[in-house]
Amino acid sequence: MRHSLLLASTALLMSVPALAEEGMWLPGQTPALGDKLKAAGLELSPADLGNLKAAPLNAIVSLGGCSASFVSPEGLVATNHHCVYGSIQYNSKPGQDYLTDGFLAKTLGDELPAAPGSRIYVIEDLRDVTAAMNKGITTKLSGFDRYNRLEANRKALIAECEKQANRRCDVRPYFGGQTYFLQQQLEIKDVRLVYAPAGGIGNFGGETDNWQWPRHTGDFGFYRAYVAPDGSSVPYAKENVPYKPKSWLKIADKPLREGDFVMVAGFPGVTQRHWTAAEVRHNFEQVYAIDQQLRADYSAAIEKAVKGNKDAEIKYASILKGSDNYKKKLLGEIAGADAIDLLGRKDKADADFRAWVAADPARTKMYGQALTDLDALVAESNQARVDNLRLATVNRAQLLSAAQLLYRWAKERGKPDAQREPGFQDRDRLSMRERLTQVERRYDAGVDRVLFQQALGEYAKVAADKRNAPLEAKIAELGMDRLYADTRLGVTADRLGWMDKPAAEFEASTDPFMQLAVAAYPGQKADEDKAKERAGRLQAARSAVMAGQIAFAREQGRTLYPDANGSLRFTYGKVTGKQRDGLIWTPFTTAEGLVAKQTGRGEFDAPKAAIDKLKARDFGRYADEKLGTLPVDFLSTVDITNGNSGSATLNARGEFVGLAFDGTLDGVVSDWSYDAAINRTIHVDSRFMLWTMDKVDGAQRLLTEMGVGQ
């Protein structure tokens, strides 16, 4: 999400690591990476690659959780099938099952509004605001006051930026708040579903193949960005027209081969490569096992509750898919940590840094106290993390979550806008309304009750002094029967009607879920204030320690790229398989492999039309001469994480050759530490995408728009 970066901390840009594949790089780091990029095979100028006013990077967009890219002058956006899955689900119902059958708009007029809250964010600018963020920050401030000062500075910067119409701005920290940048984006509010292949292609292999290789999944789909006739960004309206992007990606017409240079550009979500050894150890020894079990139990409860109810199955399909995806990833991270001795690596890196600090009195003076403070704060934070996992499960009850959201909205509206909590300002009103609207197609009272009861069982495992006693007492007083029988929050019009009511009406309400929200609020607010106090102290300590880490790396001839934080990054590598004793992964999967997996049922049920054409070798111009067949997916060494889903994969000329959609289970530990021997990214090959569009679904209108065959 970033414009050309002229980073304040020049230490970030001085050198690059020997291991080219590692790194989620900022666009402004291309000058330092130039020689490495050219040696790896980049045919573009590194300076051009880092320019967010030109292709390819200004064609890369965020969906607010997934990545995507413009692939036509008419605002057509390519991303993963699983990134448009929520919109497929939202538009599905019994008798109109786009999840199974897929969806293709024959004309512009047939394109469907995406799920409420869908956005396309187009990056326009990014600037260093570190000095402005640190205004008024002193060592004398308490943690709570430091947090509030930083938040006030952040809000002021955002408010000034958003005086421009149709813009969404944000300030994000890098290196624990050692540096800050403000991002400015055009927020496109009218997003429409254009095309998604059948589930038997877009999700071929399901959970069985998820995070696995070999893979044969056509994980792709298309949105379109719409704006008002005058070019302004407005919500859905029939008279809106396709957005005209400044740039879009050219679809490659030269075959991708083993060993070729590739890049991925997108918006990786969160990595923890700069966490301390103590944080990592606590996470893997305590947090992850519990988190994985909670998610597994949640998935199992949903599956049981919706079984035999087609409407409920559709309503909870997106929620279930997300839970299943993450629970499996957690298993991979746990196993991967053992395989690469992650804890040993972190212990050594931590010890090396501390020895470097201790070896010089000046460094000890500069970083020693910050290290001591950070150690104490990490120990304090670690104690709360497991409890918070269980306490948070009650938010799976959608009506309770909606009631708490609405009551907090009412409480915050009683303050001046600049003093409200993030997410509850006037700028958030539309997204709040859309979030509350989504419930109508993702809620079933019977299922919600089952999930709430399960959550309360987990909640009760937390020590009594950590739980919200008034909330528990009110639940016991009302009882489950009354909660679901007497509420009107399941009705969308009634739910939205609460948005403009004052807090006093909530406090006088007889709606049982509103009573829960009111009862819970004081305890939640007290916990929130404690968290702010700790967060302020953590920012002070961690930013100072990270300044030391940057200096330590510089002395060793290394550059630290910041942990992923949802901002635009690029990473590069090669199309490469993997080999170890008893195992060979070829870099491409093919049509023959897909046909061999086809069973015609369950997770391996591609459409008959697709299987028939694959068996007949009707590959058309999309076959690869060297492979002698149609490629489906491929592996590379590029460095990605969650949030990169839907990221465009580019060749050495910056042309579109596919979409990143997954990693392999043994490599997902790269969120914590990159290992070139095991890290691989899975991409859907653009040739399989185009073949499906052409030969299976008849999407010639879109192919022509994308310039394919012209």
Q: Could you read off the pLDDT of 521-575 as tens digits, one per residue?
A: 999 999 999 999 999 999 999 999 999 999 999 999 888 899 999 999 999 999 9
The mean pLDDT of 174-198, rounded to a whole number, is: 96
Active centre residues (catalytic): 82, 219, 645
Residue 419 CA to residue 156 CA, distance in Å, equals: 10
Asked if residue 273 has pLDDT above 80, the reply is yes
Residue 474 clears pLDDT 60, i.e. is over it? yes
463: pLDDT strictly greater than 80: yes
For residues 495-517, give the mean pLDDT.
97
Q: Comparing C-alpha atoms, which of 547, 555, 542 is closest to residue 9?
A: 547
Model confidence over 230-272: pLDDT tens digits?
999 999 999 999 999 999 999 999 999 999 999 999 999 999 9
| pLDDT averaged over every residue in the chain | 94
Beta strand pairing call for 120-128 and 60-62: antiparallel
Task: Give the pLDDT of residue 5.
Answer: 27
Q: Which domains does the chain have, with CATH numbers?
A: 27-119+189-270+562-706 (2.40.10.120), 277-553 (no CATH)
485 exposure class (CB count in 10 Å sphere: 0-12, 13-18, 19+): exposed
Residue 9 banded pLDDT, cuts 50, 70, 90: very low
β-pairing verdict for 167-174 and 179-188: antiparallel
Query: Is the pTM above the cut of 0.75?
Result: yes
Q: Which of 174, 226, 221 is nearest to 199 (CA)?
A: 221
Q: How do residues 382-391 score in pLDDT, each as one tens digit? A: 988 889 999 9
How many whole angstroms separate alpha carbon 560 and alpha carbon 425?
Answer: 35
Closest alpha carbon to 99 in 7, 241, 201: 201
Task: Please write down the HEC assignment for all residues of 376-429.
Answer: HHHHHHHHHHHHHHHHHHHHHCHHHHHHHHHHHHHHHHCCCHHHCCCCCCHHHH
- How big, in percent rounded to 5, are the helix, strand and coil portions of the chain? 50, 15, 35
pLDDT at residue number 246? 95
- pLDDT tens digit sequence for 312-325: 999 999 999 999 99
Pair 191, 226: CB distance under 8 Å: yes
Q: 221-227 and 190-196 as β-strands: parallel, antiparallel, unpaired?
A: antiparallel
Going by their DSSP bridges, the two strands 588-590 and 583-585 should be labelled as unpaired
Average pLDDT over residues 161-188: 95
Q: Is residue 336 classed as helix, strand or coil in its secondary structure?
A: helix
CA end-to-end span of the chain:
31
